[in-house]
Amino acid sequence: MKKHLNTLFVTTEGAYLKKDGQAVVVSIEKQNRLRLPLHNLDGIVCLGNIMCSPALMGACARAGVSISFLTPYGGFIAAVNGYSPGNVLLRREQYRRADDPDSTLHIARHFVSAKIANSRSVLLRAARDSRDAESKSALQSTAKLMMRNIRAARNATTLDSLRGTEGESANTYFSVFNQMMSNRVKGMEFTFRSRRPPLDRINALLSFLYSMLTHDARSACEATGLDAAVGFLHRDRPGRPGLSLDLIEEFRAFLADRLVLSLLNRKQIQARDFDVTESGAVLLKEKPRKEVLAAYQKRKQDVITHPFLNEKTTVGLLVHLQARLLARYLRGDIDDYPPFVWR
Amino acid sequence: MYVLVTYDVSTIDKEGRKRLRQIAKICLNYGQRVQNSVFELLVDPAQWAECKAKLLEAYKPEEDSMRFYYLGANWHRRVEHAGAKPGVDISGPLII
């Protein structure tokens, strides 16, 4: 069983990462600040202008530690991974299924219905906690709509209609996003989902966390021996990790959205924690970014029981487990892919 | 599991100083240095077996001594730090 290992985030501009023995050393202005054995790490995420020695990249590739280079705001630039592990037969099977419209639809249906089911659970959870009668009923009626969409997704006959259902659910879900916040502050309203660039503060937070999630899903695919680039719901596009994006659909609401809501409700993140650029793009400042990362890492260490495997795991390991379940399904070890549905 | 490794290596001769460096290097590959000859290692049983074998290979039983303290999985409540140079919590958020 894979263990939940830690991720090292480097956010200090100009930091230099090097290898020393079997460990990574972070040095800032020629001073060694941190030294960590590689076997304690699952991945290294470099945000912003971080340098990395070739020797370290090699050692990480050998030790199975993935290194990702991201923009300061979480946009993905590049990753260093070693040889793809696992089985070429598994990857071939993945490609075959991805080329077959029926199989693709079958798998994509699971991703989408689980995504809608999990966002519905988030809505219902927020409705239970809400003190405002009006938001409560709005959330509950949206949850009802979502129930219909789950059925529509399960019975979708074409990929396009499935994507339509997904888009519609996302729209209705985000239309009541404001109602899920318990204390609404000026400047912290959600308008509509915008990305590249995010146009308001909440979108900036969401986008940032989704990137972190994608990084995790990508390493989960790599570690399982799946090709992170070939997805079922997401079509191939150069540079797009299609399968990682497929896998995170189940987790967006459960992990990222709920974390955003609790950060806002606890006032851990406030309006002054963002920069608004001239183009209208909204970006997280450096210090609150660290706070968000810490909250995300902490959340990943929470223990939950996996609904399908019925085993205790950490939240951070869930995406790895799902990648493995998908691989087992592709290999034919289990009859169907069980997506992660939060109860 | 969490293991605390401490050692005393005789440094009167050149050989001893060499052993000291070797042992420190092995420990550094598996864990973090918390004091001069005190290391904390977060390892799984296989990694620990590997590390221990290397350490016992490197030391000289007649002159040096090594002590291993097993702090188990619930080590968080068994470790307390006071004063300068606090260690890093390897299982906590690692953000720099």
The CATH number linked to B33 is 3.30.70.240
**Chain A touched by B43 (CB under 8 Å):** yes
Say if residue A185's pLDDT is above 80.
Answer: no
Q: Which domains does chain A have, with CATH numbers?
A: 6-80 (3.100.10.20), 88-331 (1.20.120.920)
Cβ pairs bridging A and B (under 8 Å): 61
Residue B10 counted as domain residue: yes
Instruction: Write the residue in B30, B44, B90 that is nearest to A6 by C-beta.
Output: B90
Which whole-number Å values give the CA distances from A104 to A169, A237, B8, B65, in the listed order?
20, 16, 62, 62
Q: Find where tokens 């260093």 sit.
A: A80
- Whether B94 sits inside 8 A of A39 (CB atoms) is no
Say if residue B43's pLDDT is above 80.
Answer: yes
Nearest residue of chain A to residue B25 (CA atoms): A21
A69-118 per-position pLDDT tens digit: 877 766 667 778 777 666 788 888 899 988 888 889 999 999 999 999 99
Please state whether beta strands A31-37 and A51-52 pair in parallel, antiparallel, or not at all (unpaired).
unpaired
pLDDT at B27: 92
Residue B30 counted as domain residue: yes
Distance CA A24, CA A60 (A): 9
Put simply, the chain A residues between 15 and 34 with a CB less than 8 A from any chain B CB are: 15, 20-23, 26, 28, 33-34
Q: How confident is the model at residue A234 (pLDDT cuts 50, 70, 90)?
A: confident
**Chain B touched by A294 (CB under 8 Å):** yes
Residues of B in contact with A301 (CB under 8 A): 91
Q: How confident is the model at residue A127 (pLDDT cuts 50, 70, 90)?
A: confident
pLDDT at A1: 56
pLDDT at A2: 62
Contacts of A23 (CB under 8 A, 6+ apart): A35, A36, A37, A38, B28, B29
Say if residue A222's pLDDT is above 60.
Answer: yes
- Range(s) of the domain holding residue B54: 2-73
Structure tokens that stand for B78 in this block? 């068994």
From the CA of A50, how many Å to the nearest CA of chain B? 11
Q: How confident is the model at residue A24 (pLDDT cuts 50, 70, 90)?
A: very high
B8 is in an annotated binding site: yes
Residue B45 counted as domain residue: yes
pLDDT at B25: 92
A133-161 per-position pLDDT tens digit: 788 888 888 888 888 888 888 888 888 88
pLDDT at B30: 92
Residue B65 counted as domain residue: yes
Least confident interval from A252-266, A302-316, B24-38: A302-316
Say if residue B94's pLDDT is above 80.
Answer: no
- Whether B95 sits inside 8 A of A290 (CB atoms) is yes
Q: How confident is the model at residue B22 (pLDDT cuts 50, 70, 90)?
A: very high
Q: Which residue type is seen at A246?
A: D
From the CA of B55, how many Å to the nearest CA of chain A? 15
Cα end-to-end distance, chain B, whole Å: 25
**Chain A touched by B49 (CB under 8 Å):** no
pLDDT at A298: 83
Residue B43 counted as domain residue: yes
More confident residue, A271 or A51: A51
Q: How confident is the model at residue A239 (pLDDT cuts 50, 70, 90)?
A: confident
pLDDT at A73: 67
- Whether A6 sits inside 8 A of B32 (CB atoms) is no
Instruction: Write the residue in B42, B44, B96 that is nearest to A15 by C-beta.
Output: B96
A234 is in an annotated binding site: yes
Of all residues in chain A, what percent carry a pLDDT higher than 70? Answer: 95
The domain total for chain B is 1
Distance CA A52, CA A24 (A): 10
Residue B80 counted as domain residue: no
**Chain B touched by A35 (CB under 8 Å):** yes
- Whether B95 sits inside 8 A of A40 (CB atoms) is no
Instruction: Write the residue in A3, A12, A23 that is nearest to B44 by C-beta.
Output: A3
Mean of the per-residue pLDDT values of chain A: 84
Say if residue A292's pLDDT is above 60.
Answer: yes
The residue among A11, A36, A38, A65 with the most chain B CBs within 10 A of its CB, best to mutate, is: A36
Residue B84 counted as domain residue: no
- Name the region of A286 (left: φ>0; alpha: ψ -120 to 50; beta: rest): alpha
Would you say A62 and A83 are in contact if contact means Cβ atoms under 8 Å apart? no
Residues of B in contact with A26 (CB under 8 A): 96
pTM for the complete prediction?
0.72
CB atoms within 10 A of CB A22: 16
More confident residue, A7 or A107: A107
Would you say A41 and A6 are in contact if contact means Cβ atoms under 8 Å apart? yes
Please state whether beta strands A6-10 and B94-95 pair in parallel, antiparallel, or not at all (unpaired).
parallel
- Whether A36 sits inside 8 A of B94 (CB atoms) is yes
More confident residue, A281 or B60: B60
Residue B86 counted as domain residue: no
More confident residue, A219 or A205: A205
ipTM over 0.90: no
Choose among B14, B9, B59, B15: nearest CA to B37: B9
